[in-house]
Chain A
């Protein structure tokens, strides 16, 4: 685990980034940074490229121009290693199999991302998932599924959270719970980059995507 410490991302730097989907240029010349303890809220119209930006930071989309750097205590990190151990991507889809139970799926994803047993228990507690664990995913509502996906963030602590509309399906009580988790994460030196339409419940710098 000592190795992971060296990989700790303390700063995300995006320089002059341009993204294309097929022939269409979504945006270009986008620069933004996030320091440890900082949250960035990405806003912009539907289709402006917020999701694509998050996926590019995660390394799933290759940028058409510009660069994405992950910096740690010892300077710029190897992007593949930084991504593999340093970030969580929470997309529109929760990655849950409908014919498995919530407990099985949570355990698998938490282990896959390197979560410890204690951290998994903490995640179950933080998002009040205990009553759901024996239920099939197909029986869960969208909000319940999202809570299960959010539990990954707590079960396997990683410095950079990339969140795509994380709050959309959540009810008021769970928004509050997740807000507290985000505040904890930032207080512990974490970073959040979130695509949102509603304001984040934590202090965040707003960056508009696709603004001329």
Chain B
């Protein structure tokens, strides 16, 4: 257990340290959220309807940014070998890395999400639900994204490959998360979407470590 706690601390230090990229993801998120209304037109009513969806889609894309860093740097400098040789199972190592990534960049992005939705014209009443769905969705993004990051290890232009592998995996949390918020805004039953989002994220957290570990083993062998 202690080894995993030490690993978690290192991952957080790396993500928040120089060149860690957690801040870049937030800046990218804010940039995306500014760019989309420029394309969609600035009529407040139309934007207000789109706001939760835009906030969620931009959140998914921002979550992509830090995926390349998840395993690639450890793979290049040989740290991944040493992590794979450690006493904790590689599945848990991968899960801890995803968890750290969620804490380091998913958490700030989730806190940013309601601000962005409100800036786009969504009602402030939605803010709590947006934070919670963004947090839950972030777990799904981190863990399902980790599969892509592990599969793309060692490939040339790995970052692009990750995006291609991972974007389809990101569709369900975007559908359920934005759907729940939009249903809530329209006064419709929102729990089904929310429950599906939770189920997807928890399933990703439970199952993806096995896929990630297999991908990593394949890359370092």
Q: Which residues of A contact B (CB under 8 A)?
A: 55, 58-62, 83-85, 87, 89, 91-100, 104, 108-109, 111-114
The distance in angstroms between the C-alpha atoms of A56 and B38, with both chains bound, is 56
CB pair B79 A95 closer than 8 Å = yes
The distance in angstroms between the C-alpha atoms of A5 and B201, with both chains bound, is 41
Q: Considering the complex, which residues of chain B in the window 1-52 have a beta carbon less than 8 Å from any beta carbon of chain A?
A: 2-3, 6-7, 10, 13-14, 17-19
**CB-CB < 8 A to A83: which residues of B?**
85
0/1 interface trace, chain B 60-82, chain A, CB 8 Å (1 if under): 00000000000001101111011
**CB-CB < 8 A to B7: which residues of A?**
112
CB pair A112 B86 closer than 8 Å = yes
**CB-CB < 8 A to B83: which residues of A?**
112
* B107 at interface by CB-CB < 8 Å: no
The distance in angstroms between the C-alpha atoms of A99 and B3, with both chains bound, is 22
Q: Which residues of B contact A (CB under 8 A)?
A: 2-3, 6-7, 10, 13-14, 17-19, 73-74, 76-79, 81-87, 217, 220-221
CB pair A61 B221 closer than 8 Å = yes
CB pair B3 A89 closer than 8 Å = no
Cβ-defined partner of A89 (8 Å) among B73, B79, B85: B85
User: Which residue of chain B has the shortest Cβ distance to A108 in the bound complex?
Assistant: B10
The distance in angstroms between the C-alpha atoms of A212 and B18, with both chains bound, is 51
**CB-CB < 8 A to B87: which residues of A?**
84-85, 114
**CB-CB < 8 A to B14: which residues of A?**
97, 99-100
CB pair A108 B77 closer than 8 Å = no
Cβ-defined partner of A104 (8 Å) among B2, B13, B77: B13
CB pair A100 B85 closer than 8 Å = no
- Known contacts being A91-B78, A93-B78, A96-B77, is A60 close to B6, with CB within 8 Å? no
User: Which residue of chain B has the shortest Cβ distance to A88 in the bound complex?
Assistant: B85
- Known contacts being A58-B85, A59-B85, A112-B86, is A100 close to B6, with CB within 8 Å? no
